[in-house]
């Protein structure tokens, strides 16, 4: 369904009981709501969570958000980076955090548990740092509190692809930074990539997200001021954002909890889903935040 959030159109889906505990899941760079395993979303719904998933701005069925004079073309961005500059973003993680709050507003959620992965984990850091009054808890997954290396931009920028090329790229991605202890079959990976491509393939939109993420700046000092229930999860074999980055986040946030998951890389797979659902549910219950 399409809703208006923060002045733009966002594609959402909602699962679980209407009176359930509110939970919002925030995706990472370039990915869409269809990349959440059904076992993951339904796992929370079956436990009584009113679970909202959505396409971030600039991907899937959500609104595209270009800005005058701001490029989303990978070659143009790399040309600037190689000159020692990062192009100005079309929007910031602050805007994307407000998108998330707008999604909550659309579903009547005064407060919610928020679970964010990768770029979504960076958005979740902004939410807990600047809008903690709207959150019940945060789970920060496979992300960092700062730009690890300017060279990372070259790994995450994308280029226009055919449907078949998108499938091959997604297979290569899983081979490079996937969760090899909890793998997806090649058939599953191809089907997921094809579904995402069919819903909306937009390299410039993904690259605008990348610029928003890379240009945001260091969040470490902000994290030391947080007084809020935070659960940090990271894969032990994450080759895109190493587990040391998750350890750093947990060390910065007072009274947070950390779990490094063996066999997990930079993707939540169907096989991983029940374990993570259980971990998050246990964290929420142990902190007395389920009501």
3-class secondary-structure state, position 166? helix
Q: What are phi and psi of 273, to 5 degrees?
A: -55, -50
Confidence of residue 231 (pLDDT cuts 50, 70, 90): very high
Cα dist from 257 to 116, 229, 252, 277, whole Å: 15, 8, 11, 15
β-sheet bridge partners, residue 258: 232
Lowest-pLDDT range of 75-84, 209-218, 259-268, 282-291: 282-291
Cα atoms found within 13 Å of the Cα of residue 19, Cβ hemisphere only? 0
Confidence of residue 240 (pLDDT cuts 50, 70, 90): very high
Over range 265-269, report the average pLDDT. Answer: 98
How would you list the strands of the sheet with 112-117, edge to edge?
Answer: 2-5, 8-15, 49-54, 21-26, 112-117, 135-141, 230-235, 257-261
pLDDT of residue 290 exceeding 80: no
92-110 per-position pLDDT tens digit: 999 999 999 999 999 999 9
For residue 291, the model assigns a pLDDT of 55
Confidence of residue 248 (pLDDT cuts 50, 70, 90): very high
Handedness of CA 188, 144, 253, 20 (dihedral sign): negative
What is the rounded (10 degree) CA torsion for 53, 234, 211, 34? -30
Cα gap 184→164, rounded to integer Å: 18
124-173 per-position pLDDT tens digit: 999 999 999 999 999 999 999 998 776 788 888 999 999 999 999 999 99
The answer to whether the beta carbons of residues 199 and 34 sit under 8 Å apart is yes
Residue 236 has a CB neighbour count (10 Å cut-off) of: 15
Give the max Cα distance, the chain. Answer: 53
pLDDT of residue 253 exceeding 90: yes
Cα gap 97→103, rounded to integer Å: 10
Q: Which domains does the chain have, with CATH numbers?
A: 2-157+204-286 (3.40.50.1820)
For residue 288, the model assigns a pLDDT of 77
Q: Global pTM?
A: 0.96
For the chain, give the mean pLDDT.
Answer: 95
47-79 per-position pLDDT tens digit: 999 999 999 999 999 999 999 989 999 999 999
CA 67 to centroid of chain Cα atoms:
22
For residue 227, the model assigns a pLDDT of 94
44 phi-psi bin (left φ>0, alpha ψ -120 to 50, beta other): alpha
β-sheet bridge partners, residue 235: 261
Handedness of CA 207, 175, 193, 11 (dihedral sign): negative
Cα gap 259→235, rounded to integer Å: 9
pLDDT of residue 86 exceeding 90: no
Residue % of the chain over a pLDDT of 70: 99
Place of tokens 């990472």: 28
């Amino acid at each position: 369904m399409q809703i208006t959030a923060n002045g733009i159109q966002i594609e959402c889906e909602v699962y679980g009981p209407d009176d359930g505990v509110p939970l919002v899941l925030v995706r990472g760079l370039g990915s869409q709501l269809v990349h959440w395993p059904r076992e993951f979303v339904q796992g929370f719904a079956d436990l009584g969570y009113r679970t909202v998933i959505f396409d971030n701005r600039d991907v899937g069925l959500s609104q595209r958000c270009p800005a005058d004079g701001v490029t989303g073309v990978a070659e143009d961005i790399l040309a600037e980076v190689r000159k020692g500059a990062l192009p100005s973003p079309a929007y910031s993680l602050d805007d994307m955090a407000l998108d998330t709050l707008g999604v909550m507003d659309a579903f009547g959620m005064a407060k919610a548990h928020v679970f964010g992965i990768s770029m979504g984990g960076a958005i979740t850091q902004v939410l807990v740092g600047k809008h903690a009054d709207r959150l019940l808890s945060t789970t920060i997954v496979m992300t960092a509190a700062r730009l690890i290396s300017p060279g990372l931009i070259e790994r995450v920028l994308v280029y226009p692809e055919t449907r078949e090329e998108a499938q091959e790229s997604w297979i290569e991605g899983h081979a490079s930074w996937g969760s090899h202890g909890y793998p997806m079959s090649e058939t599953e990976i191809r089907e997921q990539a094809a579904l995402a491509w069919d819903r909306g393939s937009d390299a410039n939109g993904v690259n605008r997200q990348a610029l928003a993420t890379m240009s945001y700046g260091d969040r470490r000092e902000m994290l030391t001021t947080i007084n809020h229930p935070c659960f940090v999860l990271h894969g032990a074999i994450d080759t895109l954002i190493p587990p040391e980055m998750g350890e750093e986040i947990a060390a910065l946030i007072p009274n947070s909890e950390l779990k490094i998951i063996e066999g997990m890389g930079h993707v939540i797979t169907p096989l991983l889903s029940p374990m993570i659902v259980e971990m998050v549910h246990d964290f929420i219950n142990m902190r007395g935040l389920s009501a």
